[in-house]
Structure formats: structure tokens, C-alpha cells
């Protein structure tokens, strides 16, 4: 555990920071991995970030991968993403395939990325949602083990690490790396000291 914390601290120290925080949005679809969907939002909000959970359905209630009911803040049809800083893509099956199957989600992410904004994805999110729409070309990324070929098909370089940061892109492996993933987003947005403060308060550094 101490080695993991040392390595993660080294990752945080290398992340470029942009203090101009705006709203960030995380997509919820049926089959979403609940840990990634909820713990990411929890940590970012503890840091003071304005994070909005967005259902891609016509109802705010989604059913997660383990059949837990999650209530999103709003519907994708009601959101103007022009004020977005981060767009965050959780994984889960069939959550990630459901996100990729929605043309509005794909269009929103591509336009956001092409406008120079930031994107984060975890678990199946990078491989199933981000890689196929072409935004990972030439970038380093990670994903849930076993989906590496999807990254390669999308032109990305797979890196076997819990969290990988490449410029405006942050990716992570899965449920067990969710708080490290959130910490990387906080670091890039508010600085490594804020990330360390939040994660320490959540006892992430405890064995």
C-alpha cells in the first residue's frame, strides 16, 4: 500500500494544473459501474468542484451494473455543455456500451475535445466510449484489463498503470482505482495540495 501511495504521489506531481474550474459533467447510463459513478463525484465535490451527474435516458433514474438505483441531477436533453470543463466517462457493462450507443453522447464528447477541453474516462470508458470516436489518437491511456486492443484500435498507446495522464486526457483502470482517478482530476483542476487534502480526509492513504 505504501508503494502504491508513493507512486500515486509521483503521478500527482506531474499533472499540469488549470485553476479555471467550471462545471464538470459525468454521464450515467443503465449498467454504469456504481463505484466509479458515485465515488468520483463524491471526491470531486469534497474538493469543491461543481460536478453535475447526467442521465442519458429520459428519466434521471438509472440502474447500475449491480442493480443499484442512481438518481442523476439532470437529463442530457436539458444540458448545455458549452460551460463544461471536464466531461467524465465511467465504465461498467453494459454502462459503457450504452454510452457509446448514444449518438448525442458521442457528439458532445467529440465537440468538447475538439474545442480544447478536458476529458476523463475510467474502466471500460476509455476503451469502449472514447477510443472509437477518435479522440485518443496518439495519446497514452489505460483502461480495464482485457480491453487494451480497443485502445490500440483507436490509435492510443496503452499504458499499464492505475491512472494515466496525457495532457487534457485522464484515464484509469477500474473500480479499485476510482479515488486515484478522482485525485488526478482534482490535481489537474485545483492542484496537488487540494487533491492530497481531499484524499487524506477520505483516509485513502491508510493501509
Residue 207 class from Cβ within 10 Å (0-12 exposed, 13-18 middle, 19+ buried)? exposed
DSSP string, 115-171: TT-EEEEETHIIIIIIGGGTTTTT-EE--STT-HHHHHHTT-EE--SSEEEETTEEE
Q: Which of 29, 88, 108, 123 is catalytic?
A: 123
Element containing residue 77 per DSSP (H, E): none
| Cell (9 digits) for 49 | 468542484
Asked about 143 being catalytic, the answer comes back as no
Residue 174 three-state SS? coil
Q: At what angle do helices 178-190 and 2-13 cross, to 10 degrees?
A: 30
Residues recognised as catalytic: 123
Amino acid at each position: 500500500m505504501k508503494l502504491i501511495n508513493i507512486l500515486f504521489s509521483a503521478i500527482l506531481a506531474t499533472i499540469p494544473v488549470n485553476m479555471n474550474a467550471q462545471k464538470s459533467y459525468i454521464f450515467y447510463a443503465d449498467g454504469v459501474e456504481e463505484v466509479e459513478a458515485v465515488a468520483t463525484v463524491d471526491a470531486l465535490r469534497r474538493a469543491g468542484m461543481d460536478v453535475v451527474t447526467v442521465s442519458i435516458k429520459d428519466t434521471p433514474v438509472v440502474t447500475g451494473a449491480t442493480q443499484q438505483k442512481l438518481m442523476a441531477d439532470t437529463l442530457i436533453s436539458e444540458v448545455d455543455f458549452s460551460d463544461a470543463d471536464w466531461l467524465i466517462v465511467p465504465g461498467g457493462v453494459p454502462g459503457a456500451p450504452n454510452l457509446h450507443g448514444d449518438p448525442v453522447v458521442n457528439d458532445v464528447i467529440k465537440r468538447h475535445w475538439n474545442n480544447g477541453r478536458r476529458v476523463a474516462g475510467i474502466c471500460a470508458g476509455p476503451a469502449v466510449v472514447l477510443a472509437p470516436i477518435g479522440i485518443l489518437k496518439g495519446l497514452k491511456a489505460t483502461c480495464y484489463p482485457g480491453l487494451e486492443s480497443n485502445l490500440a484500435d483507436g490509435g492510443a498507446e496503452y499504458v499499464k498503470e492505475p491512472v494515466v495522464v496525457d495532457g487534457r486526457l485522464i484515464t484509469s483502470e477500474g473500480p479499485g482505482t476510482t479515488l486515484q482517478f478522482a485525485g488526478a482530476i482534482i490535481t489537474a483542476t485545483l492542484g496537488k495540495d487540494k487533491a492530497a487534502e481531499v484524499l487524506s480526509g477520505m483516509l485513502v492513504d491508510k493501509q
